[in-house]
Chain A
């Protein structure tokens, strides 16, 4: 027990040290050693929401000193909290925010940063990641490793694009997508549960299968017969009355397509169901200790099968976001590894729904910050900006999250009698 506690303490200490160092570095480097010479403009207005502040203009160097100052203060609070053995999550979070804002203020010296647009884009980029990580969450909480998230997303993006093109109706695309996701899940569940195939290998192979199949059909059908097979219509934005008019928050959360609202609903439902319902208790039981669950009369493999299928349905909605939810036409390998990032978000978020959502939002933000800064033209090579989300993930899984613990029976096929 003492060893576990000391390793937790070590990690907390490492977190505090890292954040203090980064805050000081940001204060010194962005504020004094290489300060921005011009003014940075933050824009807050995106659509037709009510205007509270339109723009905020500040000299880059002054802005950096303010934001880095905030993060330095937060770092000191984190040190105090650490010494008093209190929670350090909040001050560390504030410090991280300060460092990020310092960086943006510094990098965009003399430029215009559409802050609301930046956040809205971050949410949109996170949408498929969130759906994907929810799929992984439900599988892995019930003890089945799901590396096939990429395959689920890609297959359902393909099917929803094709179905919506053939029927000329977005709604049919949205209905067909979860079925495609569930089909991949069916393969995953059958081979993992019925035939006890190693789940990591299985998931990887399913991804290759889906990539191969969609690439093949894309070249064979979607390219030559584009006008009938690959011209999916897209969902329009639904602006919620009044709510969508709230400054900053309105355009981000309440002026989105139906897929995004579905995401909010699904995340809320899963969080509630997993921790407050009989289904959730049973799901967590078969993921942590299937033998015990079996003893009290839960059919472990049946529930696992069911949950893997549900996970496929959820990932399927995420896949629909790629086609009918945003651009319409299907593109070759258009998910571009989002399934793997979703997996990283799940692990980063320690297999909790809220954790995974925040991790996915962080990835979305890093990704969108990169493209925003590239578009406004900062001096950092774009390749390095593109690396940021992945470097951030590595820092997160090595430095901040540390030793994460998956559900105890994750990836272990359940055979009655304990033989595995």
Chain B
């Protein structure tokens, strides 16, 4: 018992210290950029008090906006207080899927920056099938999601194929394809097929009722069945990587492409297949976003889900379960960040700083050890991507 506790303590020491360090630095940034705090710089005691209060209030608002807010229960039932938690999960759902897309690519030694573009094509496909066709319930949702996944799989798979056939680097390809996808959605929303009748701003018609994912906790909370889809996808990625031959090939190519080639694994096939599955995962994220919470395709549908996915996958060490937790954390930070911005005037963007710092410290165990003067720190092998020649 004691040894397993000690083991557990060792395992969470690095993430725990990284989080503490990241939140402390963020707190300093919040406090020292506040005009009211800075005006008290004359008297040290007042200054520290005011700085503490500012940072404390911001973090309180962050909690209220992401987990539970007692104020929301007034006049409603107790569960309404969990509205923030529902928001956290609504944001985390597409993040889990895009995060898995990036994580799976990491396992094959690929750096998929293209989740953003893949997400967009997933959303376009799901939206079109969702509003254009009349299909029975359940079948409609599945058809719409599959359409989105198929488009995104083609968009993602193209990267793998191009890399395999021409040697072009996937980082460059995916960055460029994100821009192209971004302009493509702007264009397609103006076409007569997609423009909502009677509107001139770029927004598509709402998807039919039959194509929407069911809400899980009544009409007042936005949480929808997409979270189950995301969790099943995480399970699928875990199964694919650990229990199947193709997953073994993915990991073999990721570990050492040359050795995998010598062992008779078709590297071009693995690259294309990996990127197609990654595309499908991110595309499912886009589909879930349309079918679950947004219902209508708009130009900003992808937000920053594709970019946050990279930090999510890095924080989750490219493991499926880790990615789920990382996505939930970032979902909480985003949901809470909104409340923080409206309640305390601290801009939401500070959340990006926290995210970056957490990932930075997790990726640099030797640095954390150095800061806290620790002799030894258990840490799994560092997550690495391949350089340009990989």
Listed in ascending order, the chain A residues whose CB lies under 8 Å from chain B are 140, 145, 147, 191, 195-202, 204-206, 208-209, 211-213, 215-217, 219-221, 337, 340, 343-344, 347, 381, 383-384, 386-387, 390-391, 393-394, 397-399, 401-406, 408, 410-412
Q: Which residue of A lies closest to B345 (CB)?
A: A220
Chain B residues positioned under 8 Å from A196 (CB to CB): 366, 382
For residue A337, give the distance in angstroms from its CB to the closest CB of chain B: 7
With A205-B356, A215-B347, A220-B346 given, name 7 new contacts (CB 8 A). A145-B388, A195-B367, A197-B367, A197-B382, A209-B353, A215-B349, A387-B184
Judging by beta carbons under 8 Å apart, are B352 and A200 in contact?
A: no
On whether A387 and B33 interact (CB within 8 A), knowing A195-B366, A197-B363, the answer reads no
Judging by beta carbons under 8 Å apart, are B349 and A394 in contact?
A: no
Judging by beta carbons under 8 Å apart, are A208 and B311 in contact?
A: yes
Judging by beta carbons under 8 Å apart, are A208 and B388 in contact?
A: no
On whether A198 and B175 interact (CB within 8 A), knowing A217-B33, A403-B167, the answer reads no
Judging by beta carbons under 8 Å apart, are A208 and B355 in contact?
A: yes
- Whether, in the assembled complex, B162 has its beta carbon less than 8 Å from a beta carbon of chain A, the answer is yes
Judging by beta carbons under 8 Å apart, are A405 and B389 in contact?
A: yes
Judging by beta carbons under 8 Å apart, are B169 and A200 in contact?
A: no
On whether A398 and B184 interact (CB within 8 A), knowing A202-B363, A411-B388, the answer reads no
- Roughly how many angstroms separate A164 CA and B335 CA in the complex, as a whole number? 36
Chain B residues positioned under 8 Å from A403 (CB to CB): 166-167
- Roughly how many angstroms separate A399 CA and B383 CA in the complex, as a whole number? 32
- A interface SS class: helix
| Residue from the set A198, A205, A347 with the largest chain B CB neighbour count within 10 Å | A205
Judging by beta carbons under 8 Å apart, are A390 and B179 in contact?
A: yes
Chain A residues positioned under 8 Å from B356 (CB to CB): 205-206, 208-209, 212
The 6 A-B pairs of least Cβ separation, nearest first, read A212-B352, A411-B387, A215-B349, A406-B388, A403-B167, A383-B187
Judging by beta carbons under 8 Å apart, are A216 and B350 in contact?
A: yes
Judging by beta carbons under 8 Å apart, are A201 and B389 in contact?
A: no
Chain B residues positioned under 8 Å from A206 (CB to CB): 356, 360
For residue B88, give the distance in angstroms from its CB to the closest CB of chain A: 19
Judging by beta carbons under 8 Å apart, are B180 and A201 in contact?
A: no
- Roughly how many angstroms separate A393 CA and B383 CA in the complex, as a whole number? 29
Chain A residues positioned under 8 Å from B180 (CB to CB): 387, 390-391
- Whether, in the assembled complex, B124 has its beta carbon less than 8 Å from a beta carbon of chain A, the answer is no
Judging by beta carbons under 8 Å apart, are B176 and A344 in contact?
A: yes
Chain B residues positioned under 8 Å from A386 (CB to CB): 183
On whether A198 and B384 interact (CB within 8 A), knowing A387-B180, A393-B176, the answer reads yes
- Whether, in the assembled complex, B172 has its beta carbon less than 8 Å from a beta carbon of chain A, the answer is yes
- Roughly how many angstroms separate A384 CA and B187 CA in the complex, as a whole number? 8
- Roughly how many angstroms separate A209 CA and B179 CA in the complex, as a whole number? 21
Pick the contact of B353: A216, A408, A410 (CB < 8 A): A216
Chain B residues positioned under 8 Å from A220 (CB to CB): 33-34, 346-347
Judging by beta carbons under 8 Å apart, are A343 and B172 in contact?
A: yes
Chain B residues positioned under 8 Å from A197 (CB to CB): 360, 363-364, 367, 382
Pick the contact of B162: A212, A398, A412 (CB < 8 A): A398
Chain A residues positioned under 8 Å from B311 (CB to CB): 205, 208
Judging by beta carbons under 8 Å apart, are B350 and A347 in contact?
A: no
Residues 334-358 of B contacting A (Cβ, < 8 Å): 346-347, 349-357
- Roughly how many angstroms separate A199 CA and B176 CA in the complex, as a whole number? 21
Judging by beta carbons under 8 Å apart, are A216 and B349 in contact?
A: yes
Pick the contact of A216: B179, B347, B385 (CB < 8 A): B347
Judging by beta carbons under 8 Å apart, are A344 and B350 in contact?
A: no
Judging by beta carbons under 8 Å apart, are A212 and B183 in contact?
A: no
Judging by beta carbons under 8 Å apart, are A216 and B387 in contact?
A: no
- Whether, in the assembled complex, B177 has its beta carbon less than 8 Å from a beta carbon of chain A, the answer is yes
Judging by beta carbons under 8 Å apart, are A219 and B347 in contact?
A: yes
Judging by beta carbons under 8 Å apart, are A200 and B385 in contact?
A: yes
- Whether, in the assembled complex, B359 has its beta carbon less than 8 Å from a beta carbon of chain A, the answer is yes
- Roughly how many angstroms separate A204 CA and B306 CA in the complex, as a whole number? 13
Q: Which residue of B lies closest to A207 (CB)?
A: B356
Judging by beta carbons under 8 Å apart, are B168 and A412 in contact?
A: no
For residue B174, give the distance in angstroms from its CB to the closest CB of chain A: 10
Q: Which residue of A lies closest to B307 (CB)?
A: A208
Judging by beta carbons under 8 Å apart, are B183 and A347 in contact?
A: no
Pick the contact of A205: B165, B175, B363, B382 (CB < 8 A): B363
- Whether, in the assembled complex, B314 has its beta carbon less than 8 Å from a beta carbon of chain A, the answer is yes
- Whether, in the assembled complex, B119 has its beta carbon less than 8 Å from a beta carbon of chain A, the answer is no
Chain A residues positioned under 8 Å from B172 (CB to CB): 343-344, 347, 393, 397
Chain A residues positioned under 8 Å from B225 (CB to CB): none
Judging by beta carbons under 8 Å apart, are A398 and B166 in contact?
A: yes
- Whether, in the assembled complex, B241 has its beta carbon less than 8 Å from a beta carbon of chain A, the answer is no
Judging by beta carbons under 8 Å apart, are A204 and B310 in contact?
A: yes
Chain B residues positioned under 8 Å from A387 (CB to CB): 179-180, 183-184
- Roughly how many angstroms separate A387 CA and B349 CA in the complex, as a whole number? 28
On whether A198 and B176 interact (CB within 8 A), knowing A219-B347, A384-B187, A397-B168, the answer reads no
Pick the contact of A410: B186, B190, B388 (CB < 8 A): B388
Judging by beta carbons under 8 Å apart, are B353 and A340 in contact?
A: no
- Roughly how many angstroms separate A403 CA and B169 CA in the complex, as a whole number? 9
Pick the contact of A406: B190, B347, B383, B389 (CB < 8 A): B389
- Roughly how many angstroms separate A76 CA and B224 CA in the complex, as a whole number? 62
Interface string of B356-385 (1 = CB under 8 A from A): 110110011011001000000000001111
- Roughly how many angstroms separate A201 CA and B361 CA in the complex, as a whole number? 12
- Roughly how many angstroms separate A340 CA and B171 CA in the complex, as a whole number? 10
Chain B residues positioned under 8 Å from A343 (CB to CB): 172, 175
- Roughly how many angstroms separate A204 CA and B388 CA in the complex, as a whole number? 15
Pick 27 A–B contacts, CB within 8 A, sort by A: A191-B360, A191-B364, A196-B366, A198-B385, A199-B387, A200-B171, A205-B359, A205-B360, A208-B307, A209-B356, A216-B353, A220-B33, A220-B34, A337-B175, A340-B175, A347-B169, A381-B190, A383-B184, A390-B180, A391-B180, A393-B172, A397-B166, A398-B168, A402-B167, A404-B167, A408-B389, A410-B387
On whether A383 and B186 interact (CB within 8 A), knowing A204-B310, A208-B355, A216-B33, the answer reads yes
Chain B residues positioned under 8 Å from A202 (CB to CB): 360, 363
